[in-house]
Structure 1
Amino acid sequence: MMSRTKKAARSVAVAFAAAAAFTMVVPGNAYAIDHIPCRGGEDYLKIWSHDGAGRSSVDCYANRGRTSFGGWWIDKISTGNNDLIYYDVNGDSVKIERWHEISFPNRPPKVGDIEIL
């Protein structure tokens, strides 16, 4: 007969093994979009933006996924080797194919999220 401690340990081990197997078998969305340092000559997504309070920024991103862009206005986008969807704060989404560079000199979109496909 097994002791209660051994039964409890066995139950925990079986539950852990089942959870590990379930995690490996069931596909999920493993989004790993990364905000990275911008370097010349790289083919990453590059976005020039401003916040309306006098601050501006140039940001680069790599890897597939979606992340918040904080409601900043986008002045220019260079997609590099990435297909992009940006989601503006009005609910619209705009897809931009890889290898495109777009400027918004007059009416820049205010963007809530960006997604690399």
Structure 2
Amino acid sequence: MKRIAKRAVLAALASIAVAVPLTVATSTPAYAINEVPCAGRDDLVRATIHQTNHRSSDYCYANAGEDRYVLKQWWVTRIWTGNNRVQWYGDGRWQPAQPIPKYTVFTWPNHPGGVQIEGIRIL
């Protein structure tokens, strides 16, 4: 009888030893923001961005997460949120404090050349 109990305890400990690392490894959320083709979809985040003295282009994103830009001289003139809540990174912080709501066009009418952007985040 002791032998059966000992095996049961060892089996339970082995199961716990295997399960704990999997729980820890999968407990953090996955941030999988992707730049995707815009292709006429209105559910994606669409940001109109340009570099200093260059033409504007639309960049579209899907999935929650954040994307940081390596180049510091990027300017955003328009953000369409699609089916997402969005913030942009500029002036050393994520803005606006309350994310831009779903299906909203966000512009900066007082800054016709746009505002500096260093990243974009989908919540």
TM-score (norm 2): 0.70
CA RMSD across the alignment: 2.2
Q: Count matched residues.
A: 100
Q: Give the whole-Å Cα distance in 2 for the aligned partners of 1:105 and 1:49.
A: 15
1:56 is matched with which residue?
Answer: 56
The answer to whether residue 110 in structure 2 is matched with residue 113 in structure 1 is no
Percent identity of paired positions between Structure 1 and Structure 2: 34
1:79 is matched with which residue?
Answer: 81
Distance 1:92 1:44, change over 3 A: closer
- What is the letter of the counterpart of residue 117 of structure 2? V
- What is the letter of the counterpart of residue 46 of structure 1? R
Q: Give the whole-Å Cα distance in 1 for the aligned partners of 2:29 and 2:115.
A: 27
Distance 1:63 1:21, change over 3 A: same
- Contact kept in structure 1, 2:87 and 2:94, CA below 8 Å: no
- Contact kept in structure 1, 2:43 and 2:82, CA below 8 Å: yes
Residues 71-112 of structure 1: CA distance to partner in whole angstroms, max 9, x if unpaired? 311111100000001111343521211110122244122111
Residue among 92, 98, 101 paired with 2:105: 101
TM-fit CA distance, 1:39: 1.2
2:65 is matched with which residue?
Answer: 65
Residues 29-70 of structure 1: CA distance to partner in whole angstroms, max 9, x if unpaired? 311000000111331000001111314221000000011134
- Contact kept in structure 1, 2:81 and 2:101, CA below 8 Å: yes
Q: Give the whole-Å Cα distance in 2 for the aligned partners of 1:36 and 1:60.
A: 6
Distance 1:28 1:90, change over 3 A: closer
